[in-house]
Structure 1
């Protein structure tokens, strides 16, 4: 192997190793991400107006900087099966980088304002906090 070809091979291999290490670190960081999934049941069951007002309120939470992603949804009109719970009305799915970020979200003024302004709309809330692996 020529000297220049060998040097190029070594440099390419080194760059590839660094890229793999960085990618592995990114994957490891992502695996520690926290998902916060909340389901709301309306006091006024079946009220489209209340549902839409709650959706509007949930979307205000996207202004909280610790939230990396926010998805807001309503019950999908999918096939009815025994394993599908379609009794809720609105859902929010949030992602945080760390447990500390999720804890900061809980006490954030925008979240507290959301609870104050919209809690009159729901009769029940269920939360699933998930740490990705």
Structure 2
């Protein structure tokens, strides 16, 4: 009985260590691939307008043509539980991944990005950007 328990514990520890190593390895691969994250939140002038929200979303989709953007996610507020730490006051968000700072800088001046701003900036009241590098 004692021997079985030791084998079970040893097996569990080995399984946990293997899982942790696998998770760390896959995270390292992603960090190495696209380490720069650019997250933008848009507050709409007309937050109840589905037409305005959809117009910004369509504009954001055009940004996928910019080569420096390696991955682009577009989102709207999720209906998750209400907690003090959750800010659901925004309307649309974009989450972009870049290989490096140079790629993110080139995106800022890219004609497609500038056209998006020209076409859609009248629809938002406020924009906040969070840029981060994976560590």
State TM-score, norm by structure 2: 0.76
Q: 1:39·1:92 contact (CA, 8 Å) conserved in 2?
A: yes
Query: What SS does structure 2 have at the residue aligned with 1:81?
Result: coil
Query: What SS does structure 2 have at the residue aligned with 1:36?
Result: strand
Q: 1:37·1:94 contact (CA, 8 Å) conserved in 2?
A: yes
Q: 2:43·2:90 contact (CA, 8 Å) conserved in 1?
A: yes
Partner of 1:120: 122
Shift in Å, 1:48:
1.1
Question: Which runs of structure 2 are paired with 1:43-54 in the superposition (5 Å)?
Answer: 43-54=45-56
Shift in Å, 1:27:
3.7
Shift in Å, 1:32:
6.7
Q: 1:34·1:96 contact (CA, 8 Å) conserved in 2?
A: yes
Query: What SS does structure 1 have at the residue aligned with 2:57?
Result: helix
1:71 is aligned, of 70, 73, 77, to 73
Q: 1:71·1:93 contact (CA, 8 Å) conserved in 2?
A: yes
Structure 1 unaligned residues grouped into runs of 5+: 1-22
Structure 2 unaligned residues grouped into runs of 5+: 1-24
**Structure 1 residues 102 and 79, CA gap change in structure 2 (3 angstroms):** same
Query: What SS does structure 2 have at the residue aligned with 1:95?
Result: strand
CA distance in 2, matches of 1:49, 1:109: 24
Query: What SS does structure 2 have at the residue aligned with 1:59?
Result: helix
State TM-score, norm by structure 1: 0.77
1:93 equivalenced with 2:83 (yes/no): no
Partner of 1:20: none
CA distance in 1, matches of 2:97, 2:30: 15
Q: What is the RMSD computed on CA atoms of the aligned residues?
A: 1.8
